[in-house]
């Protein structure tokens, strides 16, 4: 990969002294052919992230979306046994599906991928302030890593809900934000119970109960209560809807 000799891998935590459950997150910062790297010091972003907790790969890429780079990312996920992927590049409108596809091909949960938009939010927004754009990019990528570290994504739930006198389909994708990374193993171990509880809850709802803003907020509260009733080692602090489709 590009800049590989200058990046390498972040130093591993000592399993004998580190008591927290460890994640293995890969961070890839895209040059976007100069659209990003002309204004953001991508090497500085890479170096700032390589020592971030749970980051084991931190690299820059000329074009993260290219076929060749995608193959190299798949290989890195498999070789380093990554359980989270953060790509700092352009808008997720362009390549969210692309990098979810990378995750799938590497047998990584595609919803363990986080896209950080540094092109529109940093390089294009601060063309006259390269240092400021770089520092902002570092902050945004760190936030993406933190989200990945503390979130447990679920595969989408598809359930029948009653609306307009007949059944409709609700496709809902949820992420849990935990108070501590140590809660993640229990969430993963209890996924069948959690999915069962959520399917039962969602199936009990009328479409009119959950389509407006207030209804979605109440649904999040219901989900949070059901989930935390099942957990023993900690609590989920928030529920995020990352996909909500009714057909």
How many other CB atoms sit within 10 Å of the CB of residue 87?
Answer: 29
- Residue 1's pLDDT band (cuts 50, 70, 90): low
| Residue in 198, 210, 40 with CA at minimum distance from that of residue 131 | 40
Please report the pLDDT score of residue 56 as a whole number. 96
CATH architecture of 4-150: 3-Layer(aba) Sandwich (3.40)
Domain 154-246, CATH 2.60.40 — does that match?
Answer: no
Cβ neighbours of residue 229 closer than 8 Å, sequence gap 6 or more: none
Q: What is the pTM of this model?
A: 0.70
Contact 182, 20 (CB under 8 A): yes
Query: CA triplet 141, 6, 126: central angle to 5 degrees?
Result: 40
Residue that wins the pLDDT comparison between 109 and 60: 60
Domain boundaries, the chain: 4-150, 154-246
Domains 4-150 and 154-246 belong to one CATH topology: no
Convert the pLDDT of each residue in 201-227 to its tens digit. 998 888 888 989 999 999 999 999 999
Q: Burial code of 125-135, b = ≥16 C-beta within 10 A, e = fewer? A: ebeeeeeebbb
Q: Among all chains, which residue has been given the structure tokens 């692309």?
A: 98
Mean residue pLDDT across the chain: 87
Residue 116 in this model has a pLDDT that exceeds 70: yes
- The runs of H, that is alpha helices, within 66-181 are 67-79, 92-105, 118, 130-150
Tokens of 113: 């991928």
Query: What is the torsion angle, in degrees rounded to the nearest 10, for the CA atoms of residue 104, residue 108, residue 111 and residue 112?
Result: -150
Please report the pLDDT score of residue 247 as a whole number. 82
Residue 197 in this model has a pLDDT that exceeds 70: yes
| Residue in 105, 92, 84, 80 with CA at minimum distance from that of residue 30 | 92
As a whole number of angstroms, the distance between CA 137 and CA 88 comes to: 8
Please report the pLDDT score of residue 38 as a whole number. 97
């Amino acid at each position: 990969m590009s800049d590989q000799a200058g990046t390498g891998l972040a130093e591993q935590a000592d399993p004998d002294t580190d008591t927290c459950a460890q994640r293995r997150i890969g961070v890839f910062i895209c040059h976007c052919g100069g659209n990003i790297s002309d204004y953001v010091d991508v090497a500085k972003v890479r170096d700032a992230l390589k020592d971030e907790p749970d980051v084991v790969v931190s690299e820059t890429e000329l074009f993260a979306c290219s076929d060749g780079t995608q193959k190299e990312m798949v290989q890195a996920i498999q070789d380093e046994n990554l359980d989270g992927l953060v790509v700092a590049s352009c808008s997720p409108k362009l390549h969210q599906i692309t990098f979810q596809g990378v995750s799938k091909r590497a047998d990584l949960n595609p919803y363990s991928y986080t896209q950080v938009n540094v092109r529109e939010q940093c390089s294009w927004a601060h063309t006259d302030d390269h240092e400021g754009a770089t520092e902002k990019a570092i902050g945004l990528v760190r936030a993406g890593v933190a989200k990945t570290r503390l979130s447990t994504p679920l595969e989408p739930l598809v359930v029948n809900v009653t609306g307009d006198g007949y059944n409709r389909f609700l496709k809902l994708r949820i992420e849990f934000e935990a108070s501590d990374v140590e809660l993640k193993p229990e969430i993963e171990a209890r996924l069948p119970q959690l999915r069962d509880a959520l399917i039962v809850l969602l199936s009990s709802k009328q479409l009119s109960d959950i389509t407006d803003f207030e209804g979605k907020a109440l649904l999040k509260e219901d989900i949070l209560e059901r989930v935390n009733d099942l957990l023993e080692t900690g609590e989920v602090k928030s529920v995020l809807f990352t996909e909500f489709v009714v057909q």
